[in-house]
Amino acid sequence: MKCTRCKIPAVVALPSHNAAFCKDCYLLFAQRLVERAIKEHQMCDHADRILVAISGGKDSLALSWQLKTLGYDISGLHIDLGIPESSPIARQYSERFCDKYEIPLHVLQMTDLHLSMKEVKKRVKRPICSVCGQVKRYFFNKFAVENQFSVVATGHNLDDETSRLLANVMRWDMDYLHDLGPVMPAKKGFAKKIKPLFRLSEFETANLCFLAGIDYGYAPCPYSSKASFPVYKNLLLDLEDIQPGRKIHFYDGFLKRGRKGFMPMDDEDITVHPCVECGYPTSTGQCGVCRLRSTMS
Ligand code: AMP
Ligand code: FES
Ligand code: ZN
């Protein structure tokens, strides 16, 4: 197997792209996918102060490495969720990576805020993953807005995005379908959010880490076994095996042709006000995280 670009022996085959690459050409290929995503969706430019949500896993580390390599102004935010089995490992990988690549890293410790997921799980009836997702989104946004970051970047990859899309299509969840995409513009107290890795599959980001020498952590969340997305992820992986390229066509097609069908009928936005306790935008008096905190105290 030869590299599609330079014809020396290839180290990775990518049936989805009908290509194979040597190490250097793979790194260039991955970089171009990120540059393309940023450009075609006007995600950010070199004047932006970008806050990268760094979990310590392969996606957020590959994203940080790639944005840093491309010369963007980035800082990291790690949320230490207070899950004894996984959080210390995730934090350690995040800190080690940011030290090595001289990326400023901010850490928010949920235990200090009485929001450790270990305790939340004991007290709250809702599925823990959805509470945890809400808490993470809250702090990504709050930290960005309060510290003058213009953009929040997360490491969601093509498998994350397509499995979420398929899950929401299966439920015909109109609100989620309308909000799905690689960019959420800034509005009313919410920072702009971007997903520059959306063109790379999980395999491709893992490969990027491996070939770029990025040491990433694997600390699966002990609570997330019941999440439904892995089912859709596996279905899509099987489909991709039979029809290489299917995932990105599904997602690109949704962005180009499908999504507009899910826009709300009236363009009246839900009215949002600052939360009475923390100032976070909310449609009720007290935001979801402040309500959670009152349950916990
Ligand atoms: P997940 O929802 O775990 O698939 O993560 C999606 C993205 O959210 C990751 O690629 C990170 O950018 C971000 N993220 C997840 N967990 C954390 C965390 N504990 N701290 C900071 N960012 C996170
Ligand atoms: Fe949040 Fe598992 S990482 S519940
Ligand atoms: Zn609040």
User: pLDDT tens, 150-172?
Assistant: 999 999 999 999 999 999 999 99
Q: Which range (92-101, 170-179, 247-256) has the least confidence?
A: 170-179
Same domain, 182 and 257: yes
- Residue 183 placed within a domain: yes
The Cα 104–Cα 50 span in angstroms is 11
Domain total for the chain?
2
pLDDT recorded at residue 254: 97
List 76's β-bridge partners, or say none.
Answer: 52, 105
Q: Tokens 């009720």 identify what position?
A: 284
Ligand 3 centroid, distance to 114 Cα (angstroms): 14
* Residue 61 CB contacts under 8 Å (≥ 6 apart), including other chains: 54, 93, 94, 97, 155, 209, 214, 216
Same domain, 179 and 274: no
Q: Which residue's CA is the closest to the ligand 2 atom numbered 4?
A: 129
- Residue 174 placed within a domain: yes
Ligand 1 centroid, distance to 45 Cα (angstroms): 22
Q: Which range (6-15, 32-41, 164-173, 223-232) has the least confidence?
A: 223-232
Ion ligand 3 contact residues with beta carbon within 5 A: 275, 277-278, 280, 287, 290
Instruction: Give the burial string for 171-181 (b: 16+ CB within 10 Å, else e).
Output: eeeeeebeebb
Same domain, 284 and 164: no
Q: Which of 139, 162, 153 is nearest to 63 (CA)?
A: 153
Which protein residues touch ligand 2 with a CB less than 6 Å away?
A: 81, 117, 128-129, 132, 221, 223-224
User: pLDDT tens, 80-127?
Assistant: 999 999 999 999 999 999 999 999 999 999 999 999 999 999 999 999
Q: Which two tokens stand for residue 44?
A: 């950010």
Ligand 3 centroid, distance to 284 Cα (angstroms): 10
Same domain, 241 and 284: no
CATH of the domain at 125: 3.40.50.620
Structural domain boundaries enclosing 289: 268-297
Instruction: Report the relative pairing of strands 183-184 and 151-153 from DSSP bridges.
Output: unpaired
pLDDT recorded at residue 197: 98
Q: Tokens 């540059």 identify what position?
A: 35
Say yes or no to pLDDT of 214 above 90.
yes
pLDDT over 70 for what percent of the chain?
Answer: 97
111 CB neighbour count, 10 Å cutoff? 14
When pLDDT is cut at 50, 70 and 90, the band that residue 53 belongs to is: very high
pLDDT recorded at residue 267: 52
- Residue 128 placed within a domain: yes
pLDDT recorded at residue 265: 62
Which protein residues touch ligand 1 with a CB less than 6 Å away?
A: 53-55, 59-60, 77-79, 81, 136, 154-156, 160
Own/partner pairs, 231-235, CB within 8 angstroms, 24+ separation: 232/162, 232/163, 232/164, 232/166, 232/167, 232/170, 233/159, 233/163, 235/166
When pLDDT is cut at 50, 70 and 90, the band that residue 227 belongs to is: low
User: How many alpha carbons fall within 13 Å on the CB side of residue 236?
Assistant: 25
pTM across the whole model: 0.95
Same domain, 189 and 274: no
When pLDDT is cut at 50, 70 and 90, the band that residue 220 belongs to is: confident
The mean pLDDT of the chain is 94
Residue 112 in 3-state DSSP?
Answer: helix
* Closest ligand 2 atom, residue 224 Cα: 2
Same domain, 183 and 289: no
